[in-house]
């Protein structure tokens, strides 16, 4: 039976579609990129499934996407012979807009079209970009391995409802018909579609074909129609760097990351020798909304000898590099590799340390060559990179070089200063890097602990991110200099105190002895000690945490975690 039914999207769907159409209006042609990207993913999934069961190819393993156009009917058809979908898949994948959380999406909207367009990308509404140009979309699909009568037809006019019914479909895969809006009929044009495919989808590894009229060989004969690949149709990462343009790298990023904005930078490398693999790693320009969500997607797209194996293979990079997107293609792994096997394979460990090093090198280069882009990176992902020294002890010096801080040097909240910048400004005789950690920038900046440092013109790092104390507990030294919390323990300014200072301090200490005794008596058990301090120049007294105790910020962090 045909089981025709009409279903509604969530209530926000209509608003969301409207917003997407509006915010992506100036860049309408991307609908084609999104649909071709999905067709390519579907081909990848089929190839992967066919490793175990090659009957799924149904005798046709030449995977491709076909784009056709009917100018008079204002109709574009995008057809693939990939993995296809059954009824349940269709409802799950096309029946919910912004699967990843419409509510979160709506809250994040700013009203600024450009920013909102980026958000839309992050929330994975790729397929729905069809409605930027179409007022009716019909999807006909049949899953590989299912019978022809188990095909599914889905139709939607971009409003609040869609209609789904069973249908007969002889060939596996998915066909998408876009009935163009009257103001989008410019896209019903063979030449226009070819140029859009060239521009956005050249990197797609399978052929994207279009019909072409071939004149008859003998005079007076009928012309014939042939299919012709419009794209280069090789896995982009297998080509050599010199043959790939910036734009191709950027479009490929959008395909693998499902992000709409351009990446900040990338690194493409072939490794030969004991292990043989290619990697293409990208640093995004924008943090995903689930960067701090433990179950948020992370990791690379894994291929084995050009066959797609899995998305989000997280074994190839440490957690503190979870912002990195890209592809790794191994020639050594088996096509049957699973997540469990990846976890145990010692070769993966060496790939992981090599890839980690690549990312650190890429960031080092970015910091050196493009301060503005590095600042963008730092604002989006700095707090994640700060987890590095704790997770990856071996690379801590390299990571430390990449850190940026707010400091008393310019007293702003922006984190722009490196430890090397700090060291370059150290005073004669200074052998430590001083820092203070507090719950926010203002508290850090106005701390009484800083008074003596300000007076002597000694720079202090102002830390106020949640991870900062965690970071500092794993970064006791940089470039041979120890990092010292000015709010903790005895303050020893060492060489920075001159002889006069020292004499004066001893005298004061003598004179204040009776006061200290009284204070100790009054405070009793509440304190460990009462000392004369020289760290203050204006405030009369301050609380100091013993050297080896948890800092105030760390204590708050643990308290908030219920410890």
Is 149 annotated to bind a ligand? Reply is no
Residue pair 233/88 in contact (Cβ under 8 Å)? The answer is no
Output the residue with the shortest Cβ distance to Mg ion.
126
| Distance from C-alpha of 452 to C-alpha of 537, rounded to nearest angstrom | 6
| Distance from C-alpha of 247 to C-alpha of 123, rounded to nearest angstrom | 23
Q: In this structure, what token pair is assigned to residue 211?
A: 């019909």
CB of 35 to ligand ADP, least distance (A): 7
SS3 label, residue 383? helix
Q: In this structure, what token pair is assigned to residue 222?
A: 């009928």
CB of 35 to Mg ion, least distance (A): 8
Measured in whole angstroms, the distance separating CA 493 from the mean position of its chain's CA atoms is: 43
Which residue carries 């050594």 as its tokens? 332
CB of 120 to Mg ion, least distance (A): 12
- Burial label, 562 (beta-carbon count in 10 A; 0-12, 13-18, 19+): exposed
Is 101 annotated to bind a ligand? Reply is yes
Element (H, E) at 119: helix 113-122
CB of 289 to ligand ADP, least distance (A): 14
Q: Between 310 and 472, whose beta carbon lies closer to Mg ion?
A: 310
Is 555 annotated to bind a ligand? Reply is no
DSSP 494: G
Q: In this structure, what token pair is assigned to residue 344?
A: 């145990």
Q: Between 130 and 278, whose beta carbon lies closer to Mg ion?
A: 130
Is 40 annotated to bind a ligand? Reply is no
Q: Between 40 and 416, whose beta carbon lies closer to Mg ion?
A: 40
Q: Between 85 and 475, whose beta carbon lies closer to ligand ADP?
A: 85
Q: Between 143 and 445, whose beta carbon lies closer to ligand ADP?
A: 143
Backbone angles phi, psi at 405, to 5 degrees: -135, 155
Q: Which among ligand ADP, Mg ion, none contacts residue 208 (Cβ within 5 to 8 A by kind)? A: none
Q: Between 206 and 264, whose beta carbon lies closer to ligand ADP?
A: 206
Residue pair 152/85 in contact (Cβ under 8 Å)? The answer is yes
What are the residues binding Mg ion (CB under 5 A)? 38, 126
Element (H, E) at 80: strand 75-80
What are the residues binding ligand ADP (CB under 6 A)? 34, 38-39, 42, 80, 82-85, 93-94, 124-127, 174, 258
Q: Which among ligand ADP, Mg ion, none contacts residue 395 (Cβ within 5 to 8 A by kind)? A: none
Q: Which among Mg ion, ligand ADP, none contacts residue 82 (Cβ within 5 to 8 A by kind)? A: ligand ADP
Is 111 annotated to bind a ligand? Reply is no
Count of other CB atoms within 10 angstroms of residue 65: 30
Output the residue with the shortest Cβ distance to ligand ADP.
126
Burial 518-534 (b: 16+ CB within 10 A, else e): eeeeeeeeeeeebeebb
Q: Which among Mg ion, ligand ADP, none contacts residue 277 (Cβ within 5 to 8 A by kind)? A: none
Nearest one of 317, 470, 329, 479 to 390, comparing CA atoms: 470
Q: Which among ligand ADP, Mg ion, none contacts residue 42 (Cβ within 5 to 8 A by kind)? A: ligand ADP
Q: Which among Mg ion, ligand ADP, none contacts residue 392 (Cβ within 5 to 8 A by kind)? A: none
CB of 544 to Mg ion, least distance (A): 56
Is 174 annotated to bind a ligand? Reply is yes
Is 299 annotated to bind a ligand? Reply is no
| Distance from C-alpha of 550 to C-alpha of 527, rounded to nearest angstrom | 15
Backbone angles phi, psi at 193, to 5 degrees: -65, -40
| Distance from C-alpha of 97 to C-alpha of 180, rounded to nearest angstrom | 21
Q: Which among Mg ion, ligand ADP, none contacts residue 39 (Cβ within 5 to 8 A by kind)? A: ligand ADP
Q: Between 124 and 382, whose beta carbon lies closer to ligand ADP?
A: 124
Count of other CB atoms within 10 angstroms of residue 360: 19
Strands, sheet with 460-463, edge to edge from the N-terminal-most edge strand:
406-407, 460-463, 432-437, 481-485, 477-478
Residue 447, CA distances (Å) to 189, 443, 552 in order? 67, 6, 13
Q: Between 38 and 464, whose beta carbon lies closer to Mg ion?
A: 38
CB of 267 to ligand ADP, least distance (A): 24
CB of 38 to ligand ADP, least distance (A): 3
Is 124 annotated to bind a ligand? Reply is yes
Q: Which among Mg ion, ligand ADP, none contacts residue 210 (Cβ within 5 to 8 A by kind)? A: none
Q: Between 45 and 481, whose beta carbon lies closer to ligand ADP?
A: 45
CB of 435 to ligand ADP, least distance (A): 42
Is 34 annotated to bind a ligand? Reply is yes
Q: Between 39 and 152, whose beta carbon lies closer to ligand ADP?
A: 39
Nearest one of 488, 361, 480 to 430, comparing CA atoms: 480
Q: In this structure, what token pair is assigned to residue 490?
A: 């005895």
CB of 258 to Mg ion, least distance (A): 6
| Distance from C-alpha of 314 to C-alpha of 296, rounded to nearest angstrom | 11
CB of 123 to Mg ion, least distance (A): 11
Residue pair 205/235 in contact (Cβ under 8 Å)? The answer is yes
Q: Which among Mg ion, ligand ADP, none contacts residue 85 (Cβ within 5 to 8 A by kind)? A: ligand ADP
Q: Which among ligand ADP, Mg ion, none contacts residue 380 (Cβ within 5 to 8 A by kind)? A: none
CB of 151 to ligand ADP, least distance (A): 13
Residue pair 444/464 in contact (Cβ under 8 Å)? The answer is yes
Is 122 annotated to bind a ligand? Reply is yes
Q: Between 134 and 491, whose beta carbon lies closer to ligand ADP?
A: 134
**151: region left, alpha or beta (phi > 0 left; psi from -120 to 50 alpha):** beta
| Distance from C-alpha of 417 to C-alpha of 415, rounded to nearest angstrom | 6
Please state the residue numbers annotated as binding site for ATP. 34, 38, 80, 85, 93, 99-101, 122-127, 174, 339
Please state the residue numbers annotated as binding site. 34, 38, 80, 85, 93, 99-101, 122-127, 174, 339
């Amino acid at each position: 039976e045909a089981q025709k039914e009409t279903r509604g999207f969530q209530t926000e769907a209509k608003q969301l579609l409207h917003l997407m159409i509006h915010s992506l209006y100036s860049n309408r042609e991307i609908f084609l990129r999104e649909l071709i990207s999905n067709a390519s993913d579907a081909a990848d999934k089929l190839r992967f499934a066919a490793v175990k069961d090659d009957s799924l190819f149904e005798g046709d393993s030449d995977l491709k996407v076909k784009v056709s156009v009917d100018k008079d009917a204002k109709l574009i058809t995008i057809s693939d012979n990939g993995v296809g979908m059954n009824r349940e898949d269709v409802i799950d994948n096309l029946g919910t807009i912004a699967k990843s959380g419409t509510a979160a999406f709506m809250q994040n909207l700013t009203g600024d079209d450009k920013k909102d367009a980026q958000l839309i990308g992050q929330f994975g509404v790729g397929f729905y970009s069809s409605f930027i140009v179409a007022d009716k979309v019909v999807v006909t699909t049949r899953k590989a391995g299912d019978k022809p009568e188990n095909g599914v037809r889905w139709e939607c006019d971009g409003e609040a409802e869609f209609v789904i019914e069973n249908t007969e479909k002889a060939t596996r895969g998915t066909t998408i018909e876009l009935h163009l809006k009257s103001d989008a009929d410019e896209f019903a044009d063979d030449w226009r579609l070819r140029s859009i495919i060239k521009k956005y989808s050249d990197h797609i590894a399978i052929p994207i074909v279009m019909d072409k009229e071939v004149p008859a060989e003998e005079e007076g004969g009928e012309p014939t129609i042939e299919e012709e690949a419009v794209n280069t149709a090789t896995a982009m990462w297998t080509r050599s760097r010199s043959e790939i343009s910036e734009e191709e790298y950027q479009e490929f990023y959008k395909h693998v990351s499902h992000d709409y904005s351009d990446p900040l930078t990338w690194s493409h490398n072939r490794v030969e020798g004991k292990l043989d693999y290619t990697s293409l790693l990208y640093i995004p320009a924008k943090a995903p909304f689930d960067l701090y969500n433990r179950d948020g997607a992370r990791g690379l797209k894994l291929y084995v000898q050009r066959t797609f194996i899995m998305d989000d293979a997280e074994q190839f990079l440490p957690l503190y590099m979870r912002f990195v997107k890209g592809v790794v293609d191994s020639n050594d792994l088996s096509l049957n590799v699973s997540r469990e096997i990846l976890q145990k394979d010692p070769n993966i460990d060496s790939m992981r340390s090599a890839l980690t090093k690549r990312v650190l090198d890429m960031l080092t280069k970015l910091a050196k060559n493009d301060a503005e882009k590095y600042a963008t990176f730092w604002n989006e992902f700095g707090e994640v990179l700060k987890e590095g020294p704790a997770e990856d002890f071996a690379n801590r010096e390299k990571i430390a070089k990449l850190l940026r801080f707010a400091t008393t040097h310019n007293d702003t909240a922006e984190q722009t200063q490196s430890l090397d910048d700090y060291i370059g400004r150290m005073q004669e005789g200074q052998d430590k890097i001083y820092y203070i950690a507090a719950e926010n920038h203002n508290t850090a900046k106005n701390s009484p602990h800083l008074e003596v440092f300000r007076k002597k013109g000694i720079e202090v790092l102002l830390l106020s991110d949640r991870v900062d104390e965690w970071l500092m507990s794993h970064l006791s030294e940089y470039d041979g200099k120890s990092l010292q919390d000015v709010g903790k323990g005895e303050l020893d300014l060492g060489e920075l105190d001159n002889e006069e200072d020292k004499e004066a301090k001893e005298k004061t200490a003598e004179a204040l002895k009776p006061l200290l005794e009284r204070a100790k008596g009054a405070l009793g058990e509440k304190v460990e000690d009462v000392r004369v301090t020289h760290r203050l120049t204006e405030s009369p007294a301050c609380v100091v945490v013993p050297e080896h105790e948890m800092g105030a910020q760390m204590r708050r962090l643990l308290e908030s975690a219920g410890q």
